[in-house]
Amino acid sequence: MSQNDRTQLIPDPQQPSRHAAGVQSPRPIAPSHGQQRDAANASQRPNQQRQQRQQRQQHQANGNAPKQPPTHARGDRGPARKSAGNNKSGKKTTLFVVLGLIVIVYIVGVVAFSQVAYPNTIIAGVDVSFSNASSAATKVNSAWKHYKLTVTGDDFSWTYQPESNEPIVDGEAAAKEIISHNEAFVWPVRLVESLSGKTKTTATSNEVDLDQDVDLSMLSDTFDQKKFEKDLGAAIDEFNEGRSGTFEANSSYDEQAGKFTVEKARSNEKLNREHVIKYAELELASLAETVDLSKLGNDAYEPLNGTLTDDQIQAACNAANNFLGVNVTLKLNGEDAGKVDGSSVLQWISFADPANPTLDTSQISSWAAELANGFNTVGSTRWWTRADGKQCAVEGGDFGWSIDSSSLAKQVEDAINNKQTGEIEIKYSQKADTFTAKGEPDWKAYVDVDLSEQHARYYDENGNIVWEANFISGKPGEDATPEGVWQINSNDGGSTLIGAKDPETGKPKYESPVSYWMPFEGNMIGFHDATWQNDKSFDNAESYKWCGSHGCINLRLADAKALHDCIKVGLCVVVHS
């Protein structure tokens, strides 16, 4: 159809149209040139629209939706922003993904560690990390000889190592037992713990339950339980031999600390044989490699005396320490004669009642008597070398030191109770010229009476002879002059010497006036002038045998006067052979 033909189809607005009522529309007016162009374009639009629809359908069929140009509402000044809801949705998605991965990893870990051992798991000395029961059993059974169990605590140490050629470890049973304790549902925690150190074969607690039964199911029939207990028991018995198991002063005093301590007291405890063996078997049952007795605490030892607790021991130590404050130096005539301090008081503390220590005064008295005996020189033997070189010895007499041991014990007891410090002058009932070691001469100036020479010498403190003379001593027998170390008791000049009474007459056997009387054994024996003796007899060393005195030292009158003039009361007189 030509354009003219299509034009004819356009109704004429000036012609009436034909309707059903028979009225015709007005005939259309012919279009202008512009109208004709618009009409031509209008006639082409259906074709273009149809082509565009076909192109859209083809793009949709190929999966490429047509790009729509952005539309802007009137007044929009920029591109549209993404909504906050889209951001939240994205974050939730990421969170769910992460949680999902964690759950997957956790489940995988639960499954894995319900079947394999954790890292650093040791069975009988064999590393079975990440091994299942079968693999672990193979490793353990092939290397069982490496296993050993060491029991240690305090100064005790004992090691058990199988001697049999057959394995004592049931590798399969041990591996299953270990893996059964894995606690797979908390594997992240257990994994961290295992990576931080060696993992024990079974889960244990810091406290040891000695009431539980020993399960040795992981050990084979080769294990000799009786021999294990016998050997460990023998080691415990040997360890206990050096310990009394009682709370004693000597074992409770710490020399470095200078006092009684609970720690030192407990060093005397004995190991509890039954508890140690039971604990060792519990650890052996889990194939542990060490048994630390410190984990048993007080259960590892038998209580001291069977009754004392740590609190009671501490109270006893405190009470005992109250006796240790004394620190005194004993003096005898200004010379050091001993020391009393905490270390010496130890032997005098009694723990008859362990919780209430007391001071044992009987032990102090025994100590004081022994010390006094060491100081007492009265009647003891002395050895010395005379100034002229003669070596002499004598025993007896009443000169020297005499210490009252009961007074000394009281002095020391008071010093302990008062925690006294400083010096204590030992009380004595008699003193010598000087304090020396027992057996040595404790005199300074003295008169040496040599009975074998029948000659006497007065030596000053420097060994110089002040006076000397021959004498006649007592007649041998009952009237012999007594040997010993004596001292001048008086020097008053003249006196009358009266002998014992004659039983027949009732009168003294003799009455002899003398000008100089210087007694040294009481008032019975002494130096005096004897004018009745023949002068020549004084020069004969044997004359005492027939004209000897009744025990006194007879002197010529001049010699007696000279001695009287140079001596004083208290001067030491040594009579010896």
| Residues noted as catalytic | 528, 552
Nearest to 516 by CA among 568, 569, 557, 550: 557
What is the sign, positive or negative, of the torsion defined by CA atoms of 255, 256, 262, 268? negative
Cβ-contact 234, 282 below 8 angstroms: no
In Å, what is the CA distance from 282 to each residue of 177, 215, 279, 520?
Answer: 14, 7, 5, 85
The residues that bridge with 250 in the sheet, in sequence order, are: none
Sheet with 421-425, strands from edge to edge, namely: 335-340, 327-332, 421-425
Residues 6+ apart with CB under 8 A from 551: 473, 474, 479, 480, 481, 482, 524, 525
Q: How far apart are CA 342 and CA 420, in angstroms?
A: 11
Cα 524 to Cα 56, 488, 531, distances in angstroms: 164, 12, 19
Amino acid identity of 73? A
Nearest to residue 424, comparing CAs of 521, 547, 336, 530?
336
Largest Cα separation within the chain, whole Å, is 220
* Beta partners for residue 511, in sequence order: 498
Beta strands in 426-545, from DSSP E residues, in sequence order: 428-430, 446-450, 455-459, 465-470, 484-487, 493-498, 511-521, 525-529
Half-sphere exposure of 350 (CA within 13 A, CB side): 9
Which residues make Cβ contacts (< 8 Å) with residue 72, sequence separation at least 6?
Answer: none
Please give the full DSSP string across 19-80, using - where no structure is assigned: -TTSPPPPBPPPP-HHHHHHHHHHHHHHHHHHHHHHHHHHHHHTT-PPPPPP---TT--SPP
Residues 6+ apart with CB under 8 A from 527: 471, 516, 518, 520, 552, 553, 555, 560, 563
Three-state SS at 124: coil
Q: What would the two tokens of residue 202 be?
A: 């079974």
Would you call 470 helix, strand, or coil by DSSP? strand
Distance CA 236, CA 277 (A): 9
Residues 450 and 574: their CA atoms lie apart, in Å, by 8
